[in-house]
Amino acid sequence: MHPKLARHLEKNGLADSTQEKYESILDNASGNDLIEWINKRVSSKTPVGTVLPLRAAVKHYLVAVLGYDEEEVKGLLPKARGRSNRLRHALSPGQLAIYHAAIENLDSEPSRTILGLLPATGLRIGEVTGLRRSNIKRASGRAYLVFRGKRDKERTVPLNAAASRLLEDYLAEHPTTDHLFAGPSGFPITPHAVRKHTRALAESYPELAGLSPHVLRHTFATMSIRKGVDIATLKALLGHENIATTQRYLHPDLDMLSEAVDRLD
């Protein structure tokens, strides 16, 4: 990555995973005129979720490396319009039970503990793998995670009883003084290493087809809505800046629709 771009992205507080995504996009565009390149790849049929990272990566490069003015860049890049993203997928209660049973048999730490925490906390995979022991706080008999999330904003996420037990059991067997989920090298385990396990579970269990860390994050959101959590609270728990982002998670699944019509009987 160009040093100027690296400093610019770090200054803007972008997560490592986001920086890696932008670097990958720019590597693919290497050798091309960036404005021409992105305009060829964006149309009204391109999903918004595809347009946004492409546009952001090119914008940051033009501003940080080539010295463009941000207002000027807005006029040069394609609008962030496109085909709406598909509704987020989540595990049903039955699928979630299969998932928990499957990870109990997983003999690989810290991935097993991370996979247990993801649907219980709603954290992004990069947020979990980057946790340190110092991010665990306790007050009034409850454990919390306090950390810097996306865009370097402080997040506070209380742990429920199941998540607290999972974390305590892990710490009892794997004491650590720095990185909470360290790999054999002593450095934090990578999101890629955890995704290998979700892909393996999806291949081994047909009921878990399409499983990913983000599906588990959405599962947390869907379960929260089922339990009556309001959208403002869910927004804070998920670490969203805009409530419109949270609303993308709020579609009812078949079970919720069935429960609604059953109330009319």
Instruction: Report the catalytic residues.
Output: 124, 150, 214, 217, 240, 249
Tokens 């007050």 identify what position?
Answer: 139
| 3-state class (DSSP) for residue 4 | helix
Q: Which of 123, 136, 124, 110 is nearest to 188 (CA)?
A: 110
- For residue 238, count other CB atoms closer than 10 A to its CB: 23
Decide: 61 and 26 in contact? Cβ < 8 Å. yes
Amino acid identity of 64? A
Surface-to-core class of residue 153, CB atoms within 10 Å of its CB (0-12 exposed, 13-18 middle, 19+ buried): exposed
Q: Where are the alpha helices (DSSP H) in the chain?
A: 3-11, 16-28, 34-41, 48-64, 70-76, 93-104, 111-121, 125-129, 161-173, 191-204, 213-226, 231-238, 243-247, 254-262
